[in-house]
Amino acid sequence: MANPTGTEPGRSARSAKWAVDRLDSRERRFSFVAAGAAAGFGLLLYLYETEDKSFRLAKGQLTPQTILVLGLVCGGLLCGATFLGRRAPVGFVSLFTFLLFGTSTIFFGLPFLVLAAWLLYRSYKVQKEATAKLRAERAEGSSSAAAGSRNGSRPSSGSRSSTAGSSRKGPAQPEANKRFTPKRPPPPAPKPSRRERKAAGTSD
């Protein structure tokens, strides 16, 4: 039986998974901006820390050259993940970029943390909506199938009336008697009375 919604259940599941995994147009724009920001922040921190004569590395802090290289690498990875169009790689690279810039300043790393959290929330929201839509389509399809089976098992009033009418047409056929009853013999003729016999003898 065809699905009343016009979409096959397997195709609906694949489209739902596609919507959960793939970036939309707005997420792509923000991801490209984040890729450019990663490279720009790496270059900005490199120039600032190398030009500052009083700059000293703190414990656990990366060198300006390392920040520059990692910033360019993270920018390239974000750009490639955005071209790929998958939410999970973009969120993972964004989280890694946050950890990179968080060692120098939380101000530069915070936007990437926000992007990763936003992509995670968007993935959860789209998955919830797609699951609810898929359940509604399946429930509608099962109810339509049950209604069709009930209609097919019960004959309509028109068919019942036509069947009854066709059974009433034509001469009534006698029903066969299951028990055989023999015919009774005819009663014997009555004996003539004495008067009738005497009258018959006189006439002879």
Angstrom CA distances, 93 to 76, 97, 112, stand at: 10, 6, 9
Q: Is 191 exposed, middle or buried (0-12, 13-18, 19+ CB in 10 A)?
A: exposed
Put simply, whether the predicted model's pTM sits higher than 0.75 gets the answer no
Q: Is residue 42 part of a domain?
A: yes
Q: How far apart are CA 43 and CA 62, in angstroms?
A: 14
For 68-84, give one letter per residue: b (16+ CB within 10 A) or e: bebbbbbbebbbebbee
Confidence of residue 4 (pLDDT cuts 50, 70, 90): very low
Q: What is the pLDDT of residue 153?
A: 55
Q: What is the pLDDT of residue 10?
A: 54
Q: Is residue 44 part of a domain?
A: yes
Q: How far apart are CA 38 and CA 74, in angstroms?
A: 6
The count of structural domains within the chain is 1
Region 8-34: mean pLDDT is 76
Q: Is residue 96 part of a domain?
A: yes
Q: Is residue 69 part of a domain?
A: yes
Confidence of residue 40 (pLDDT cuts 50, 70, 90): very high
Q: Is residue 134 part of a domain?
A: yes
Q: What SS3 string covers 95-152?
A: HHHHHHHHCCCHHHHHHHHHHHHHHHHHHHHHHHHHHHHHHHHHHHHHHHHHHHHHHH
Q: Is residue 88 part of a domain?
A: yes
Q: Is residue 71 part of a domain?
A: yes
Residue-number span of the structural domain to which 123 is assigned: 27-140
Digit-coded pLDDT (tens) for 88-129: 889 899 999 998 888 777 888 899 999 999 988 888 888 787
Q: Which residue has the tokens 């008697």?
A: 177
Q: Is residue 145 part of a domain?
A: no
